[in-house]
Amino acid sequence: MDNICHTLVGAALAETGLRRKTALAPAVLMIGANLPDIDVLAIPFGHGIDFRRGHTHGVIALIVLPVVLALILRLWFGRRGRKFDEPPFHLGWTVALAAISILTHPFLDWMNTYGVRWLMPFSGTWYSAEALFIVDPVLWIVLGFGIWAGRTKRKKQRRDRDRPGTIALAVAASYILVMMGTTWWMRSAVTRELTQAGARPSKLIVSPRPVSIAGRNIIHERDGMYRFGRAIMLEEPSLTVIPESVAVNREHPAARAAMATPEGRKFMTWSRMPFFVIDSGGRVATVRMDDARYSRGEPSWAAVQVEVPLPR
């Protein structure tokens, strides 16, 4: 998910009463909710989509990062000193809050079609719940209102000041569960409908649409083509096939050569729906590698282009 959403989750956690567990608790929760995205620092060193949502989002990072964050903030607290209106610094609680907030990050990243590699560094398998669009205003509004209401009550020293943050997180969690259930149900129904039509897909993605609970974009692979559609949940999902398709071209010699290049290997570690646009002339072919999750043939932000020699 986007970093606004991650930050709002951390801030909402602070409004549940966790801010009183240790000094710097709000900072721990908001920094922790974003910390796995530290992998962006690898981009200047030649790593991109092949490195993102991997090592810093995997099981080892979920153990190591909370301790690292807690120790850094312990050093910061020692230099800054305690303010009169905050609790004392508690290392155990700081590690616990860091662990909670850091765990929310890959969980939310798992919700969209980009996915996350939970088992890094042991396995590079991608996992995706396909439940939420990467920017979800519903979560912004729910969490933002809970944070505002909680802070307002805290300024007035209300005894129920922890309730808004708790309710906001409960509503957000319920919304996510509804979106996950909708995706699961629509995936089953679309697979059944395509199978009954004699078009059982070898790959299927049920992609969330912006600000839509009942609608999904459908991508499925069949007979060497990616085909697109839209499904709307009524009493039964109504699947509309879009008259657009993209040739996969995975077995083309130029595509195979492109996948063997350093750029191609990086792309293939990440792509779930790869396709190849090939422009061949003479002894060299220009190959654009792209992903059907983000393109229907036109170049997308994920596209990688290489030149490869054609076999004689």
Cβ–Cβ under 8 Å, residues 207 and 186: no
Q: Are residues 9 and 116 in the same domain?
A: yes
Q: Each residue of 7-44: b (16+ CB within 10 Å) or e?
A: bbbbbbbbbbebbebbbbbbbbbbbbbbbbbebeebee
Nearest CA-CA partner of 293 in 139, 153, 115: 115
- Per the domain annotation, does 153 fall within a domain? no
Domain endpoint, select from 109, 128, 147: 128
281 DSSP β-pair partners: 284
Going residue by residue through the chain, which has 312 residues, state the pLDDT in tens, using 9 for 90 and above: 899 999 999 999 999 999 999 999 999 999 999 999 999 888 787 777 788 899 999 999 999 999 999 999 999 988 877 777 788 999 999 999 999 999 999 999 999 999 999 999 999 999 999 999 999 999 999 999 999 999 999 888 888 889 999 999 999 999 999 999 999 988 888 888 888 888 888 889 999 988 888 889 999 998 899 999 988 877 666 778 888 899 999 999 999 999 999 999 999 999 999 999 999 877 899 999 999 999 998 999 989 999 999 876
Same domain for 252 and 242: no
Q: How far apart are CA 10 and CA 105, in angstroms?
A: 10
- Taking residue 273's Cβ as centre, other Cβ atoms within 10 Å add up to 20
- Indicate if 115 and 209 belong to the same structural domain: no
Give Rg (Cα) of the chain. 23
What is the C-alpha to C-alpha distance for residues 302 and 120, in angstroms, rounded to an integer?
22
210-214, long-range: CB < 8 A, 24+ apart: 210/133, 210/135, 211/133, 211/136, 211/137, 211/138, 212/133, 213/178, 213/179, 213/182, 214/182
Residues in contact with 218: Cβ distance below 8 Å, sequence separation at least 6, in sequence order: 190, 204, 205, 206, 207, 228, 229, 230, 231, 239
For 287, other C-beta atoms within 10 Å of its C-beta total: 25
Residues 286 and 210 in one domain: no
Whether residue 117 is found in the same domain as residue 63: yes
Provide the domain count of the chain.
3
Q: Are 16 and 90 part of one and the same domain?
A: yes
Q: In the structure encoding, which two tokens stand for residue 220, read together?
A: 């499925």
Q: Where are the alpha helices (DSSP H) in the chain?
A: 3-14, 25-34, 59-80, 91-110, 137-155, 163-196, 253-259, 262-270
Please give the model's pTM, rounded to 2 decimal places.
0.90
Q: For residue 212, what are the domain limits? A: 190-246
Measure the CA–CA gap between 124 and 113, rounded to whole angstroms.
Answer: 16
Regarding whether 47 and 99 lie in a shared domain, the answer is yes
